[in-house]
Structure 1
Amino acid sequence: MSLLRTLFFYLVFFPATIFFSVVAIVGRNQTSSHWCERNWGRLVVWLCASKDSVDLSALDEKQTYVFMVNHQSFYDIPLLFKHLAPWQFKFVAKKSLFDFPVFGHAMTAGNHISIDRENRRQGMRDIQNAIDVANRGNSPLIFPEGTRNPAPQEDGLMPFKTGGMVLALKCQKPIAPVVMYGINKVCAKHSLWMNPFQEIKIKALPPIDISEYSVRDRNKLKEQLEEVMGKAYAELKNA
């Protein structure tokens, strides 16, 4: 049954991804992009038939946040598009992802935030773009580990990157930590092979008020986030 479901997933996934990407590119406005992202996420999650346990009760749907989310696999993306649909959020991602044919162009059309890690001057402009995105009421979404975790079952969360803290502090919005568990069982790092019917846990933690922080406090913020998100991850794992 799982093999048949996986084959069905791929038969639908690729044409659906192209369809929603093209609609977002042609529409080139936030309404069409959000519609495409939300419905693509719902479709992919339905195709994969994961059993999602989601608790976002700590968050206010009317508030703009900087989301901080642990990162395990490609499947994080449709899950977040589906379950964080009440918020207009924008992924903060490395520049190379925006060069992908069709999907990368759809990310550009949706005003997701490209970060150039190789060019410091462009990187500063990218941070300013993230600030502008937040000021327009869109919530930047950062993966503070910086990349997908290859062994979340054994190692828990990876150390967070300081750059994500700097961006979050400059946006001057409350930080909303979101912890996800079990996604690697659906799709591991460096793999697009989807394993359906897996149990997923997603939990939003109480937002962090950063009004008393400055950029000089980035290491303090990093340590605080690592502690609260690491503890919550261990609780989800052992629940």
Structure 2
Amino acid sequence: MIRFLLVAVIVIGFLILSIPVLIVEWIIGKFSPMTKEISSLRLIQGAFKFILWVAGTKITVIGEENVPKDTPVLYIGNHRSYFDILLTYSRCPIRTGYVAKKEMEKIPLLSNWMKYLHCLFLDRKDIKQGLKTILTAIEKVKSGISICIFPEGTRNKAEDETELLPFHEGSFKIASKSGCPIIPIAMNNTAEIFEAHFPKIKPCHVIVEYCKPVYVKDLDKNDQRHLGEYTQNIILETIKKNKELV
């Protein structure tokens, strides 16, 4: 419980103490939007890395060389833990927005930081609004901002981490319409940080592998029509491969 309390204090303390920083960042953004966006990115990445250290999380990263450093991408990952966001966002080389559930937009201060970082809020119950979010994500990518989405749509609570939920195909329009590469992210053992023994946070070893980029235009027509299934298979096989490393 001590780690849980420490993480909770860090998160709440950061949000409260960062109020002046939000104001400063807003002012900077009036004169140099890019400077604001990069400084916000690095600040949050530093906070996430600190939280992971406090949680006692040992991270093995594989294939990070597969992530382009000079072009936006669509990150696609399996999703079993709240910590998946910390694990992946702390390693993004360029500006990156995450697609989050609409409910998070109501959380004071957290939503402010998320908007600074180009995060988008998806209403899973409203198809029309969901389409607008995807269209906005496409424009973000075209402007040089990577997007990350967990296409299972919610945290997967299955006991076996190889039992993935179906990937929503609509998410992949971000890549097919913008032409950006897809970077599949396969994560092993992340639920062991917190969810597997809620409310305790326990030290554990996780694997994060960035698979080789998928270029939609290079796929055959059938795979292009079923990008969700195609990408899910890549992630699933990688999770199976890395189980022995945990």
TM-score by length of 2: 0.84
Identify the residue that residue 153 of structure 1 maps to in structure 2: 160
Identify the residue that residue 12 of structure 1 maps to in structure 2: 10
Q: Work out whether 1:57 is the aligned partner of 2:61.
A: no
Q: Could you tell me which of 97, 100, 104 is aligned with 2:111? A: 104
CA distance in 1, matches of 2:20, 2:84: 21
Please state how far the C-alpha of 1:155 moved relative to its aligned partner. 4.5
Q: Which amino acid aligns with 1:124?
A: L
Identify the residue that residue 39 of structure 1 maps to in structure 2: 46
Identify the residue that residue 205 of structure 2 maps to in structure 1: 199
Please state how far the C-alpha of 1:125 moved relative to its aligned partner. 2.7
Please state how far the C-alpha of 1:194 moved relative to its aligned partner. 4.4
CA distance in 2, matches of 1:4, 1:93: 28
- SS of equivalent to 1:92: strand
Q: Work out whether 1:71 is the aligned partner of 2:79.
A: yes
Q: Which amino acid aligns with 1:90?
A: G
Please state how far the C-alpha of 1:147 moved relative to its aligned partner. 0.8
Q: More deviation in 169-178 or 116-125?
A: 116-125
Identify the residue that residue 113 of structure 1 maps to in structure 2: 120
Identity across the alignment (%): 25
Contact 2:96-2:117 at 8 Å conserved across structures? no
1:173-188 to 2 correspondence within 5 Å?
Answer: 173-188=180-195
Identify the residue that residue 135 of structure 2 maps to in structure 1: 128
TM-score by length of 1: 0.86
CA distance in 1, matches of 2:20, 2:124: 28
CA distance in 1, matches of 2:141, 2:23: 22
Identify the residue that residue 230 of structure 1 maps to in structure 2: 236
Please state how far the C-alpha of 1:163 moved relative to its aligned partner. 1.9
Contact 1:179-1:202 at 8 Å conserved across structures? yes
CA distance in 2, matches of 1:190, 1:90: 29
- SS of equivalent to 2:215: coil
CA distance in 1, matches of 2:232, 2:155: 16
- SS of equivalent to 1:83: coil
For the aligned residue pairs, the C-alpha RMSD in angstroms reads 2.6
Q: More deviation in 171-180 or 35-44?
A: 35-44
Please state how far the C-alpha of 1:207 moved relative to its aligned partner. 0.4
Please state how far the C-alpha of 1:159 moved relative to its aligned partner. 1.6
Would the alpha carbon gap of residues 216 and 186 (structure 1) be closer, same or farther in structure 2, given more than 3 Å must change?
same
Identify the residue that residue 93 of structure 1 maps to in structure 2: 100
- SS of equivalent to 2:166: coil
Cα shift readout 1:142-179 (whole Å, capped 9, x = no counterpart): 10111111125354322211221233322320000011
Q: Could you tell me which of 145, 148, 165 is aligned with 2:172? A: 165
Would the alpha carbon gap of residues 157 and 32 (structure 1) be closer, same or farther in structure 2, given more than 3 Å must change?
same
Please state how far the C-alpha of 1:17 moved relative to its aligned partner. 3.9
Please state how far the C-alpha of 1:108 moved relative to its aligned partner. 2.0
Q: More deviation in 63-72 or 21-30?
A: 21-30
Cα shift readout 1:67-102 (whole Å, capped 9, x = no counterpart): 001111111111122222x13211012222212222
Q: Could you tell me which of 52, 69, 89 is aligned with 1:81? A: 89
Would the alpha carbon gap of residues 25 and 214 (structure 1) be closer, same or farther in structure 2, given more than 3 Å must change?
farther
Contact 1:162-1:218 at 8 Å conserved across structures? no
Identify the residue that residue 21 of structure 2 maps to in structure 1: 23
